[in-house]
Amino acid sequence: MDARTHAAYVERAMWQIGKGGLRFWGSVAMLGAIVLFGLYAYVYQLQRGLGVTGLNQKVSWGFYIINCVFFIGISYGGAMTSAILRLTGAKWRAPLTRLAEATAVAALLVGAVYPIIDLGRPDRVVNLLLYPQVGSPVIWDVVAISTYMVASVVFLYLPLIPDVALARDTLGASAGRVRRTLWRVLALGWRGTAGQQRALRRGIGIMAVLIIPLAVSVHSVLAWLFAVTVRGGWHSTIFAPIFVLAAMLSGVAAVILVVAALRAAYGLHAFITAKHFRYLSYLLIALGLGYVYFMISEYLTEGYVAEETSGAVLEALFVGQYATTFWTFAIAGLALPLVLAALPGRFAIARACVASTLIVGGMWLKRFLIVVPGMADPIMPWDWGRYSPTWVEIAITVGSAAAIPLLLIVFFRFFPVMSVHEMEEVEAPAEQAHAPAPAFAGGAE
Amino acid sequence: MTEGITRRRLLGGIGAAGAALVPIHFDPAGLAAEPKAERQWAMVIDMRRCDGCGDCTKACQTTHELPKDFEWIKVFEVKDTQGQKYFMPRPCMQCENAPCLRVCPTGATFRDDEGVVLVDQVDKCIGCRMCMAACPYGARYFNYAEPPKPKNAFAKPTPEFPVPQIKGTVGKCMFCVHKTDHGELPACVEACGMRALWIGDLVEDVATNGEDTVRLSQFLKESDAFRYKEELGTGPRVYYIAGHGQHLEY
């Protein structure tokens, strides 16, 4: 990268900071309205209780638990994308890591609220801390999600420090008081000395390693919420790994969508190119194929024996009342997008976006197909449950989904959208980038 | 060898210190101390006699002032392999190794001394409904709506007499411990005109349906009683007697 491109990169990374204008405020107003309506629906539910949902005595978990798994899954994919690219020293990662890490935090903030939205007595949520029963998977979730929450915020923040300092130094003079103070405080006195660089590299390296087992644990624990019960289709040993893979798959797809949207919004075309989408698509395909394999393994072993409970659920999925949803997911939400992403040739970006949209939608459907039939499953073998969500659940779901882009565009009004420091790191002369994983360079010295 | 301190002792010591410091008690199955009380309640359901009238459900709902969709004892109509129908009332099985108790995050679900699984709806239940997902018998009910106004306006619910129910929490059959404590029959047993329901005590080895009294172990043996989904290892305290060549599909 020559000096001109370098300057252009820095300019583009910070171009959107403080930019108001019709586009920004229009987006904020639109997304904000959707979020507010979701909030209104939640207040409505708070006042009247869970009776306003479609939940009932048989199907007592529905949209909220689905959304919890779905959004935390997306968060996980964001964090993993960034961690994997860092650890493997992929040089093309520079303009993407910030977007992936920010997506991880935004999706997690949304997903982590859902267990509370789902509570019958949210006013007693503190009981989880007062009387925790460590044998309960719910407590495992509380511990895992809160640990992961801290880790993903740190994982976003560490690489941000030098960029915040850059904003402080270059834009500080023209920015308002809020931004100036924010940058000064968050930059932690960063001046880019050798010692600081070393410490930062080490910190990022540790976080990139740490975030993987943390994210794996979060999604495994979420899976055990289901797998430790005796319900059909839930009580399965493959549940934790398949949840982890599903999370990564949906997360990478979500990252592709975020990257595409913000690339267009902030004019990052020169730096985020078809190449990036192609590489991310490879990741998507690898994860997708892994997921297909796990799924076949799960359904084959369960279906071949067709024990009464899981047999009934599988039948409902393949040919019964959930067949339409299931095959929509399997074909339009999994097979088709994988083919689309794998095709060679032109329109890589468009194909990646369409494939990702289908995968994100498909993975939501898959979570529906895990939670609802498992609940409706006649554990007393004679009656199936029924579930159809009300406007409250739909409004909260849509509102929470809109909160993610809202959080992102507000965040990037204050912070560089592409990591400048990261770019300088991967562009650094060979003697500094000799280690296969630059993230570890600090530790190696 | 270092003097006297083996690794095991050291680890044990650390564990004990840790256990003393951490205010969490690890007793997932609630079985650390097997309840030792004068009575250990059990129920016998004689499906040879049940005619599916649903009086047990109604009596339960009246006693506990429950809404209509709360069937703490629910009567299922079942078709056997010969196409004959029979009825299977399902109360809470009061499992000795209760999955609902194990998954409860706040300890709201607990077993009393006499082996009955109760719920602290007053303070502890947060309404996460994990127990409903875990129960293999579908015996738990969530209060989606405000329960009916209690007849006694000053009624204060307790785990032993959860009337009125509390909105946003989970309730279930509790073998009417508020009645058995005073030597009365559970509401369902009392109401059953067919005398198909028996309440028994495993310690004294007796059971009664309100009319007859039998030696429980002998009665179970002679009538080939079985426990529903016993193979799950839940240790249910409810015994079923099949009849008329009826057999459960499960």
pLDDT digits (tens, 9 = 90+) for B145-183: 999 888 888 889 999 999 999 999 999 999 999 999 899
Q: Does B136 touch chain A (CB under 8 A)?
A: yes
Question: Over A116-171, what HEC string results?
Answer: HHCCCCHHHCCHHHHCCCCCCHHHHHHHHHHHHHHHHHHHHHCCHHHHHHHHHHHH
* Interval B62-87 mean pLDDT: 90
| Three-state SS at B214 | strand
Whole-number pLDDT of residue A360:
96
Handedness of CA A142, A370, A252, A254 (dihedral sign): negative
Residue B191 near residue B55 (C-beta atoms within 8 A): yes
List the single residue in A51, A135, A382 with the smallest CB-CB distance to B144: A51
Give the Cα separation of B227 and B238 in Å (integer): 6
Q: Which residues of chain A have pLDDT under 50?
A: 430-445
b/e for A169-197, b at 16 or more Cβ within 10 A?
Answer: eebeeebeeebbebbeebbeebeeeeebb
List the single residue in A51, A133, A382 with the smallest CB-CB distance to B104: A133
pLDDT: which is higher, B32 or B66: B66
Which residues of chain B from 94 to 133 reach within 8 Å of chain A, CB to CB?
A: 99, 102-108, 123-130, 132-133
Q: Can you list the pairs that B201-204 forms with residues at least 24 positions away whose Cβ atoms lie under 8 Å?
A: B201/B39, B201/B40, B201/B41, B201/B42, B202/B40, B202/B41, B202/B42, B202/B115, B202/B237, B203/B37, B203/B38, B203/B39, B203/B40, B204/B39
Torsion-angle region of B84 (φ positive above 0: left; ψ -120 to 50: alpha; else: beta): beta
String of DSSP letters for B61-92:
HHHTT--TT--SSEEEEEE-TTS-EEEEEE--
Exposed, middle or buried by CB within 10 Å (0-12, 13-18, 19+), for B49?
middle
Residue B235 near residue B97 (C-beta atoms within 8 A): yes
Handedness of CA B53, B59, B62, B65 (dihedral sign): negative
List the single residue in A50, A133, A230 with the smallest CB-CB distance to B136: A230
Q: Which amino acid is at B150?
A: P
End-to-end CA distance of chain B: 58
Cross-chain residue pair A138–B103, CB shorter than 8 Å: yes
Structure tokens at B43: 């129920």
Whole-number pLDDT of residue A436:
46
Which element (helix H / strand E) includes A47?
helix A21-48
pLDDT at B3 over 70: no
pLDDT digits (tens, 9 = 90+) for A209-241: 999 888 899 899 999 999 999 888 898 899 999
pLDDT digits (tens, 9 = 90+) for A96-112: 999 999 999 999 999 99
Cross-chain residue pair B105–A128, CB shorter than 8 Å: yes
